[in-house]
Amino acid sequence: MIRLQNVHKSYRKNGLVTPVLDVPELEIPVAQRVALVGRSGSGKTTLLNLLSGLVKADSGLVQVDDEDLTTMSEAACDRFRARSVGYMFQSFHLLDGFTAVENVELGASFAGRSGPRKEAEQLLVALELGERLHHFPGELSIGQQARVALARALIGSPKLVLADEPTGALDGETANTILDLLLKKSLEQGVTLVVATHDLEVAAAFDRIVRVEDLQ
Ligand SMILES: Nc1ncnc2c1ncn2[C@@H]1O[C@H](COP(=O)(O)OP(=O)(O)OP(=O)(O)O)[C@@H](O)[C@H]1O
Ligand SMILES: [Mg+2]
């Protein structure tokens, strides 16, 4: 269960404070599949970052699985994220010096699980990248990099999967492959899924649509 209460987030630069997100109240039950929509700059990525513990709220409660991420130490937050969260970033953040399958494997080894090579390969094959296991990110198309990033988020079956525009860089057919895998994993494993998307057709496949502008 995810619970946000009176969350406020601003960014400060050169003495200038820019408020970016206010969430008076948001609850997401376990295993719910949620699409976050909203115009560019509305705070979708910021909200995903708050849920992952990567970014701290200025005030309010961000509770994931009974853990309050706002008061947790940095180290505890890192452990929580490694153990419980799979995050596909909007700009992927793949490691250049590692192949596709190694990047996916790393997703699991950060979480302290060993021997995930087989699962990494299976995920990449399911995402139609069986022929690209040993390519480096620089040798992959943007859409292929997106799929590697998604496999890295899914490996090891985290309880919470966050995905930021997972279908943004893809053609319709590949987007459907990604979406099907995300929804299937969450259904089979009771994963809570929070996905930012600007594609309303994609959003319609989820249990619930949350418009970020409407939260405040
Ligand atoms: N590190 C930062 N420092 C300062 N401002 C930031 C920072 N990160 C985000 N912002 C600002 O916060 C606001 C929300 O950004 P965010 O990335 O969450 O939007 P978004 O809804 O994900 O947009 P998009 O659809 O373009 O990805 C934007 O106005 C952005 O300029
Ligand atoms: Mg974004």
Nearest CA to ligand 1 atom 3: 11
The predicted pLDDT at position 93 comes to 94
> At residue 90, what are phi and psi to the nearest 5 degrees?
-60, -35
The answer to whether residues 145 and 92 touch, using CB atoms and an 8 Å cutoff, is yes
Please compute the mean of the pLDDT values over residues 177-197 and round it to a whole number: 93
Question: Is the beta carbon of 39 within 6 A of some atom in ligand 1?
Answer: no
Q: Which pairing describes strands 33-37 and 59-64: parallel, antiparallel, or unpaired?
A: unpaired
CA of 117 to the centre of ligand 2 (A): 30
Mean per-residue pLDDT, 68-74: 91
Q: Which residue has the higher pLDDT, 111 or 7?
A: 7
pLDDT tens digits for range 24-39: 999 999 999 999 999 9
Q: Which residue's C-alpha comes closest to atom 1 of ligand 1?
A: 11
- Band of the pLDDT at 44, cuts 50, 70, 90? very high
Q: Whose Cα sits closest to atom 28 in ligand 1?
A: 41
User: In which band, very low, low, confident or very high, does the pLDDT at 112 lie, cut at 50, 70 and 90?
Assistant: low
Q: Give burial (CB, 10 Å; 0-12/13-18/19+) of 148.
A: buried
What is the Cβ-side half-sphere exposure of residue 115, based on CA atoms within 13 angstroms? 0
Spatial separation of the C-alpha atoms in residues 28 and 64, rounded to whole Å = 9
Could you report the per-residue pLDDT of 145-162, keeping only the tens digit for each? 999 999 999 998 899 999
164 C-alpha vs ligand 2 centroid, how far in Å? 7
Indicate whether residue 45 lines ligand 1 (CB < 6 A): yes
Q: What is the mean pLDDT of the chain?
A: 92
**Residue of minimum CA distance from atom 27 in ligand 1:** 40
Question: If you average pLDDT over residues 41-63, what whole number do you get?
Answer: 95
- Which pLDDT score, from 0 to 100, does residue 215 have? 87
The rounded Å distance from CA 46 to ligand 1 centre is 6
What is the CATH number assigned to the segment(s) 2-11+18-215? 3.40.50.300
**Residues with Cβ < 8 Å from 57, sequence gap 6 or more?**
7, 8, 9, 50, 70
- CA–centroid distance, residue 10 to ligand 2 (Å): 16
Q: Return the ligand number nearest the Cα of 37.
A: 1
